[in-house]
Amino acid sequence: MDPARPHHRHLSLPTRRTMLRGGAGLALAMGASAASLLASGSAATAQSRGARRPRDVDYPKAEWLPADKSNYTSSDRPSTYTVEFVVIHVTQETYKDALAIFQNPAKDVSPHYLIRSADGHIAQTVREKDVAWHAGNWDYNTRSVGIEHEGWIDEPDKWFTDEMYAASAALTANICDDYAIPKDRDHIIGHNEVPGADHTDPGPHWDWDRYIELVKAS
């Protein structure tokens, strides 16, 4: 975990949902069906996740447990920033304590997702359209989805479970598919590989070969 506080932390741009909602009213007034309007306005593309309703999760298997709004920057990705990376983190905290940190307005830190060790349960804490503060580098924050994993990097046998690897890989594969991100180590990176990072997670015991194979197979 690592805060990266932008100078423009309160950036808030009109969302695609807002424009669609305005367009829907006009279309209904003209006698067009809302269903046909939404169908034409939400064609599937590799960079299309920004149009979901506020409390929907971006990944169907995730639970919505939002970070405090002070801990991320509202945006409208991928319209505002192209999503190019997935950044892998390890919390150095328990799932419960990490979630409490992301929900604390004084902490200035958040990922998009948090994965529990024991069963691979996934919490979404920030919408993918928004910029989570996880990488310690504003440029990488704007262009990535951050995934935190419960545990400690020096206790891999205890925390890096099969369930966690499988759940995380499936999530990363889904993100890569939605944003046309290549499923390779140039685009799926550790926090320690972010330029300027002073963190070492996910650490030397994170099994990258296994993880990338799971991502490709998902």
| Mean pLDDT of all residues belonging to the chain | 83
Q: pLDDT (tens digit, 9 = 90+) per residue, 148-191?
A: 999 999 999 999 999 999 999 999 999 999 999 999 999 999 99
Instruction: Say what angle helices 16-29 and 34-41 make with each other, to 10 degrees.
Output: 140
What would the two tokens of residue 43 be? 């064609």
Q: How many CA atoms lie within 13 A of 178 on its CB side?
A: 22
**In the predicted structure, residue 41 carries a pLDDT above the cut 50:** no
Residue 208 CB partners (closer than 8 Å, separation 6+): 185, 190
Please indicate, yes or no, whether the overall pTM of this predicted structure exceeds 0.75: yes
**In the predicted structure, residue 29 carries a pLDDT above the cut 70:** no
Q: Which residue has the tokens 């998009």?
A: 112
What would the two tokens of residue 218 be? 């998902």
Residue-level pLDDT at 23:
40
| CA 112 to centroid of chain Cα atoms | 3
**In the predicted structure, residue 194 carries a pLDDT above the cut 90:** yes
Residue-level pLDDT at 204:
97
Q: What's the longest Cα–Cα distance across the chain?
A: 62
Q: What is the mean pLDDT of residues 109-115?
A: 98
Residue 124 CB partners (closer than 8 Å, separation 6+): 57, 58, 59, 62, 63, 64, 65, 66, 112, 113
**In the predicted structure, residue 10 carries a pLDDT above the cut 60:** no
- How far is the C-alpha of 114 from the C-alpha of 206, rounded, in Å? 16
- As a 3-state breakdown, the chain gives helix, strand, coil percent values, each rounded to 5, of 35, 15, 50
Burial class (CB in 10 A: 0-12, 13-18, 19+), 83: buried
Residue-level pLDDT at 56:
79
Residue-level pLDDT at 25:
40
- How far is the C-alpha of 173 from the C-alpha of 190, rounded, in Å? 16
Q: Which of 94, 93, 92, 88 is nearest to 111 (CA)?
A: 88
Highest mean pLDDT among 12-16, 36-40, 154-158 belongs to: 154-158
**In the predicted structure, residue 108 carries a pLDDT above the cut 70:** yes
Q: pLDDT (tens digit, 9 = 90+) per residue, 58-93?
A: 999 999 999 999 999 999 999 999 999 999 999 999
Q: Which of 102, 112, 109, 104 is nearest to 133 (CA)?
A: 109
| CA distances (Å), origin 155, targets 18, 31, 90, 146 | 46, 62, 11, 21
Q: Which of 103, 123, 108 is nearest to 168 (CA)?
A: 123
Residue-level pLDDT at 119:
98
Residue-level pLDDT at 1:
61
**In the predicted structure, residue 207 carries a pLDDT above the cut 60:** yes
Residue-level pLDDT at 214:
98
**In the predicted structure, residue 38 carries a pLDDT above the cut 70:** no
Residue-level pLDDT at 55:
53
Residue-level pLDDT at 209:
98
22: confidence class by pLDDT, cuts 50, 70, 90? very low
